[in-house]
Amino acid sequence: MKGDKIPDRDNIARFCRPWQAPGGEIQATAFMLRANDDEELSVNWLEFLKCSSREGEIREIQEIYSKTFSVSKNARIAVLNVGEMRDIVRTESLDNRNIEVIHNPIPDGDQSHSGVYNLKQDNELIAELILEVVRENYPAREK
Which runs of consecutive H residues, i.e. helices, occur in the chain? 54-68, 82-92, 124-132
* Closest C-alpha to 137, from 29, 39, 13: 13
Q: Among 73, 68, 101, which Cα is nearest to 87's?
A: 101
Residue 38: pLDDT above 70?
Answer: no
Which tens digit of pLDDT belongs to each residue from 22-32? 999 999 999 99
Task: Tell me how far apart the alpha carbons of residues 94 and 84 are, in angstroms, rounded to a whole number.
Answer: 17
* Predicted TM-score of the model (pTM): 0.93
Containing H/E element for 41? strand 40-45
Assign 107 a pLDDT band (cuts: 50, 70, 90). Answer: confident
Q: pLDDT tens digit string along 71-102?
A: 999 999 999 999 999 999 999 999 999 999 99
Domain ranges of the chain: 11-139
pLDDT of residue 19: 95
Which DSSP letter does residue 5 get?
B
